[in-house]
Amino acid sequence: MADQVWIARLTPTVGNSVETLLAVPVGLDVWERHPNSLLVAATESQLAELEKRRLAHVERWSSQEQLEARTRHTQTGPDDHEARGSR
């Protein structure tokens, strides 16, 4: 079974930087780069490796699956379904 993919914020630990995180060869999918953090899509094992090496504080915001489900719901919306059913 594949690792779950998380949307997470990475904040470099003391003595590290965003550049340090970008240079680590773990294959992060960087969505946003900020001066003091990164927003990434990464597997549980990638995030665990960063934590194990004490390179970043990891905040797991949502699984990619949950994010996609919320996005689908927002795009179709409950009102859209009701409007189609009433015509």
- The full set of domain ranges for the chain reads 5-78
Residue tagged 């630990």 (tokens): 13
pLDDT of residue 86: 47
pLDDT at 18: 97
Quick one: pLDDT at residue 40?
A: 96
pLDDT for position 44:
94
Q: Look at residue 80 in the predicted model and tell me its pLDDT.
A: 52
**DSSP 8-state secondary structure symbol assigned to residue 76:** H
Query: 60 falls in which pLDDT band (50, 70, 90)?
Result: very high
Among 29, 19, 31, which residue's Cα sits nearest to residue 56? Answer: 19
Q: Give the per-residue pLDDT at 62.
A: 83
86 class by beta-carbon count within 10 Å (0-12 exposed, 13-18 middle, 19+ buried): exposed
Is the model's pLDDT at 74 over the cut of 90?
Answer: no
Q: Rounded to a whole number, what is the distance in angstroms from the first to the last CA of the chain?
A: 44
